[in-house]
Every structure is written in structure tokens, then in C-alpha cells.
Amino acid sequence: MQNDSPFPSPYPPDPIPRDERKQQEEDAREVARLIAENFVEAEPTAEPDAKMAEREGAEPATSMPSRDKAPVALGEPIEGVEEEDWSSELIPDEPEGAAPLKLMGFDDISERSMKKLFLAAALVFFVLLMGVTLLLSWINSAQDGPPMPPPILQENQQRIVAESGGVVQIEGLTLTIPPKALENDTIFTVTREPLAALTDNYIIQPEGLRFLKPVQIELPYRPAYLTSKETTIMVRYFLPGGREVELPYTIDRQRKVLKSSVMEL
């Protein structure tokens, strides 16, 4: 039943759906209309009842309903007819302690729809995340490629006599030791580590050896690794103890070698 009062209703919300409630109200109005029609149809019997009352000596009825009266509107109380309370039949009483009846409404449907949308969005996000992860893994593996094999080291050993000197060579590197540049005869070991760069790496031993005279070094280079903007080449010489020395050099462009000199290894 609708509450038209400005104050909140003390009764709980109507558990009956609106459509069913509307149908029940229409049925109640139809019953009231039938009662009103039956009451009006009974008016012609009032006069015979009065004559019968006179024959029996009873006091005739002094007031009867008149046809001139205004028609009774539906829903208004009818004079002489006791108004019945239909609420007890239309709205069943809830047993004490019973859980309130919860009907399926728009809020419930919206909540279920939101749950389905959330699950669908989570599934799509998971699929996209897995796809991006696999794509990045594939790109990294393609960029890295197969593991590079370790470089093949080349080594050359040669004994140099201190009195006469000598030359130690390996794949382009030339170490020229002049006579009397060594205190004693010495075995030199030169190891080459090939690199895809301007020059290869060369390791000259024995390490920590000092010369009495400057020793000439010729180091090959690859012009293809020089860009048009590069005008100089930096040659670094690593000494024991982690020291790093930048060697001055001259360029033999015809032979494609860098020439320098050192006093120690």
C-alpha cells in the first residue's frame, strides 16, 4: 500500500510486486462495484416490503434509498454497507523470525551483470598480458640469437736472444726487439683474440718485463670499421696492476697498420 504521508511509514516495504498489487486493487474495486450494483438493484423491492409490513401490522419503512441520489463513486464507502478490510487477504502476515522476502529487481540484475563484466575484463586482461609476454620473449630471443661460440685464441711463442734481438709475429701484429734491448734471453708469448671490431686483442708476455731500449709494435686495423666522422684512432695499452696507457702512434695507410713503441710489458 502506497504511503502518501510526508512521514516515513512504520510498516516494512511492500513485498508484493507492483503489477500484482495493481491487479489486486483492481479486483477490490470490481468487488465494490458489484456490491454497489446489487444494492441499487434491490431498491424496487422496498415498496412490496412496506405493504407486507402494513399487512402484518409492522411499522412501514419511512426512509428508502432514492434513485435521485448521486451515484456512488468507486472506492468510496457505501451508506449502509459495512466496509470490509481486504488488506488481511491481499497482504499475508509474515511469521515472526522469518527472513524478509527478497525479490529479483533491477539492483540484483545490475550486480550480476557487473560481476560478469568484471570477470570478462579480467580474462581479456590476462590473455593480453600473456600475449605481450610471449611477444617480448620472442623478440628478445630473436635479437639475442644463438649463443656466440667462444673466440678461438691464437698463440705464438718465440725465444729472443738479448744480444741480437729479434721479431715476434702473429696474424698481423709485429713486435720488433732491437739488439741489447733485453738483459737476458727471453721467451715471448703473443696471444691473439679475434674481435669484430677495429682491431683484435693481443696479449704479450712475459708480463711486467722492462726493456733497455724502445720496442716497436705494429698493430693492424680495419678501415671498414671507421666512420666518416672519426678522424683519430685510440690505442690503449694495458699494463700490470690495472694501469691503462694511451699509446701515441703513426698510421701507415698503405699497409693499414698503426705504429708505436713501448718500454715495458
Q: What is the pLDDT of residues 8-24, one digit of tens each?
A: 555 556 666 777 778 88
10 part of a folded domain: no
Same domain, 257 and 168: yes
181 part of a folded domain: yes
CATH number for position 182: 2.60.220.30
Report d(CA 112, CA 81) in Å as an integer: 51
CA dihedral 134, 137, 139, 141 (to 10 degrees): -140
126 part of a folded domain: no
Q: Mention every residue, 6+ apart, whose C-beta is less than 8 A from residue 90.
A: 16, 21, 24, 28
> Given a cut of 70, is residue 86 above it in pLDDT?
no
252 part of a folded domain: yes
Q: Which of 70, 97, 124 is the last residue of a domain?
A: 97
68 part of a folded domain: yes
Read off the pLDDT of residues 31-54 as tens digits, 9 standing for 90 and up.
888 887 776 544 455 455 555 556
> Given a cut of 70, is residue 103 above it in pLDDT?
no
pLDDT confidence tier of residue 179, bands split at 50, 70 and 90:
very high
Kindly report the average pLDDT of the chain as a whole number. Answer: 72
Cα separations in angstroms, 118 against 108, 122, 125, 230: 15, 6, 10, 59
Report d(CA 16, CA 216) in Å as an integer: 108
Q: Return left, alpha or beta for 242; rule: phi > 0 is left, psi -120 to 50 is alpha, else beta.
A: left
Let me know the angle formed at the C-alpha of 41 by 38 and 44, rounded to the nearest 5 degrees: 145
Residue 111 confidence (pLDDT) = 74
Q: How many domains does the chain have?
A: 2
What is the pLDDT averaged over residues 238-255?
79
Note whether 168 and 189 are within 8 A (CB).
no
DSSP H or E stretch at residue 35: helix 18-41
- The predicted model scores a pTM of 0.41
Domain that residue 205 falls in: 154-264
Report CA torsion sign: 239, 164, 218, 250.
Answer: positive
Which long-range contacts link 49-52 to residues 24+ away (Cβ below 8 Å)?
A: none
Number of H helices, E strands in the chain: 4, 10
Report d(CA 118, CA 160) in Å as an integer: 82
> Given a cut of 80, is residue 152 above it in pLDDT?
no
